[in-house]
Amino acid sequence: MKLHHVIESQQFSLPLLHELFQTAQRMEKVVARGGTKDYSGKIMASLFYEPSTRTRFSFESAMIRLGGRCISTESAREFSSIAKGETLEDSIRVINGYADVIVIRHNEVGAAKRAAAVSQIPVINAGDGIGQHPTQALLDLYTIQKELGNIDGLKIAMVGDLAQGRTVRSLTYLLSKFERVKIYFVAPETLKMKEDILQHLEEHNIWYAEETDLTKVAPEVDVVYQTRIQKERFGDRIEDYERSRGIYIIDPSILKLMNKRSIVMHPLPRVDEITIDVDTDQRAAYFRQAQNGLFVRMALLSMVLG
């Protein structure tokens, strides 16, 4: 299947997801045998207007494991010609002359789409503001498939900041493509999942429930998807932030309520919403999940580079 730009999770059909996951699985073997040289002539430009060392490292490692090379900026917003008044579109056109694929992270919603509109080389969205972060959602989904063997019939609790967390929004979109999925949204009143997503689920006949008690939900689900209450997204609403923190903590007492074959996921970074004594439990899947980011990003890069 043809894949050019990777802008939003909605663009992934079931067959495309299937192909992506098969490719990612193949990439696990490529990494195990020390990488490939297949893309040794290719250059990836990491264009990060909003810093994220983790995501950047993940993409750059993926490109290198494929044999490719990277040119990279950690803080394009501060350093680049944008400071001189250049438009994003012009920057992208110029970088088209220097690279074979652009990975962009930006602080403004829709930036990746604008970049793709003028780019002749593939653009991959590595997060734009509170908009999309499709590769995170794809690696989340890949992790569920790999850990549980199946996504159809999944029961999942999404916990924490559901209003502003772009990963849970994107993941919910993707899950709505599967069969018999049940989603529990567990959030404080101020951070509830927004109406547009709930409506989308209703239109697609996906079962969901809004809950406030994690202890009631934990025994019911295959996946507890915990998220960080993101202080930086609250701005000056400090009170809302303080009220929201600490309500839902995954600790051994929650683990005890969960099924033996269920897992705990988290997009990372975490602060204290999962206690560190959970880490050694086999059900703590979040570091494996981060590692899966490498395989999924290798798969995406190989697909867009052809």
275 binds its own copies (CB under 8 A): no
172 is an interface residue for its own copies by CB under 8 A: no
**Binders of its own copies in range 33-52 (CB under 8 A):** 34-35, 41, 43, 45, 51-52
Question: Which of 2, 29, 84, 260 is in the footprint of its own copies by CB under 8 A?
Answer: 84
* Among 33, 296, 13, 10, CA closest to 141: 296
Q: Smallest distance from the beta carbon of 70 to its own copies, in angstroms? A: 8
- Which C-beta is closer to its own copies: that of 68 or that of 134? 68
Question: Is residue 79 involved in binding its own copies (CB under 8 A)?
Answer: yes
Smaller CB separation from its own copies, 83 or 209: 83
Could you tell me what percentage of the chain is helix, strand and coil, using 3-state DSSP and rounding each to the nearest 5?
Answer: 45, 15, 40
* Angle at 285 (CA atoms; ends 281, 286), nearest 5 degrees: 115
How many residues touch its own copies under the rule CB under 8 A: the total is 56
Q: How far is the CB of 154 from its own copies (least distance, A)?
A: 24
The answer to whether 11 and 132 are in contact (CB under 8 A) is: no
Three-state DSSP class for residue 185: strand
Minimum gap (Å) between residue 120 Cβ and its own copies: 11
User: By CB under 8 A, which span of 9-17, 73-81, 109-117, 206-214 interacts with its own copies?
Assistant: 73-81
Cβ atoms 223, 250 nearer than 8 A: no
The two structure tokens encoding residue 303:
């697909």
Binding status of residue 107 toward its own copies by CB under 8 A: no
The strand ranges marked E within the chain are: 43-48, 69-73, 101-106, 123-128, 155-159, 182-186, 207-211, 223-226, 263-265
Which positions are catalytic? 54-55, 84, 105, 133
Is the Cβ of residue 112 or residue 296 nearer to its own copies in the bound state? 296
3-state secondary structure 232-277: HHCCCCHHHHHHHCCCCCECHHHHHHCCCCCEEECCCCCCCCECHH
Residue 207 near its own copies by CB under 8 A = no
Residues that bind its own copies (CB under 8 A): 34-35, 41, 43, 45, 51-54, 56-58, 60-61, 64-65, 69-76, 78-81, 84-86, 89-91, 93-99, 228, 230-232, 268-272, 276, 287, 290-291, 293-294
